[in-house]
Amino acid sequence: MRTERRNFLDVGFDALPVDALIARITAVDVASPYQYLVTPNVDHVVRLHRQAGEMPDLSGVYRDADFCICDSTVLARLAKWRGVVLPVVTGSDLTALLFERVVRTGDRVAIVGGDEALVLSLRAIFPSVEFVQHLPPMGLAGNAEARHAAARFIAGTKARFTFVCVGSPQQELIAAEVAKLGDARGLALCVGAALEFLTDRQKRAPALARQLGLEWAHRLLTNPRRLGRRYRGEGPAIFLLAYRWRRSAT
């Protein structure tokens, strides 16, 4: 059963504290009807507004998700300015908590994305968990056939949890397509690079930077070539969107 969602920037966010979210996810098993979880951040919300009305319908993908969790302190602070309280649960934190508290011995965990070395690292850290992996080609955003193949893989694995780690919006499109197949089970989580952080293949920002909401700045400084356009060019658009949304909502 879905929780009541709180609207901010025309996205409905589940206002679930982390412990309540973990409790709901813990109830998922291999026989549970398929569900999927998305973690919108600033980049995602800006994209949703810029691509409004385009096909495929990204807004519908987020709206139909069983869990829509705020991944961004910046979003949460802008929401608070508007009077909307959004708990922040990042995909990276959620993934770490799931492996710490929820994933059990013998669970099958599927991964879409990454590389073979990622799965080897996970197996070394969690030897009692069964990992299966699908390695889709590059260019998924414009390759409907490859996204469909990834969706069929998820439906066919019957895993308790699937981590879809191929970037946005392709990971959300894949997770939503699985729901249309009708025979999938378990929970798919769209969590980007979370498994890279879990295995220390990428380094997260120091704890203080995360507490201050500056993880985005750390990522920009450590990977400016890949993230420069997102954070310096597209990211600031969120402030204009919030300003306009605030005015239209008053």
| DSSP per-residue string spanning 113-179 | ES-HHHHHHHHHH-TTSEEEEE-PPS-GGG-HHHHHHHHHHHHHH--SEEEEES-TTHHHHHHHHHH
Q: How far apart are CA 142 and CA 144, in angstroms?
A: 6
Q: Is 31 left (phi over 0), alpha (psi -120 to 50) or beta?
A: alpha
CA distance 33 to 99: 21
Per-residue pLDDT of the chain (250 residues; tens, 9 = 90+): 567 899 999 999 999 999 999 999 999 999 999 999 999 999 999 999 888 766 568 899 999 999 999 999 989 999 999 999 999 999 999 999 999 999 999 999 999 999 999 999 999 999 999 999 999 999 998 999 999 999 999 999 999 999 999 999 999 999 999 999 989 999 999 999 999 999 998 766 556 555 555 565 545 555 655 555 655 556 688 999 998 886 555 4
How would DSSP label each residue in 98-115? IIIII--TT-EEEEEES-
pTM higher than 0.85: yes
Tokens of 236: 């600031």
Supply the pLDDT for residue 151: 98
Q: What is the pLDDT at residue 182?
A: 85
Q: How many CA atoms lie within 13 A of 202 on its CB side?
A: 15
| DSSP one-letter code for 31 | T
Per-residue tokens: 123:
């197996």
Q: Give the C-alpha separation, 114 to 92, whole Å.
A: 15
Domain extent listing, the chain: 5-249
Give the amino acid at 125. Answer: I
What confidence score (pLDDT) does residue 4 get?
A: 81
Confidence at residue 250, expressed as pLDDT on a 0 to 100 scale: 44
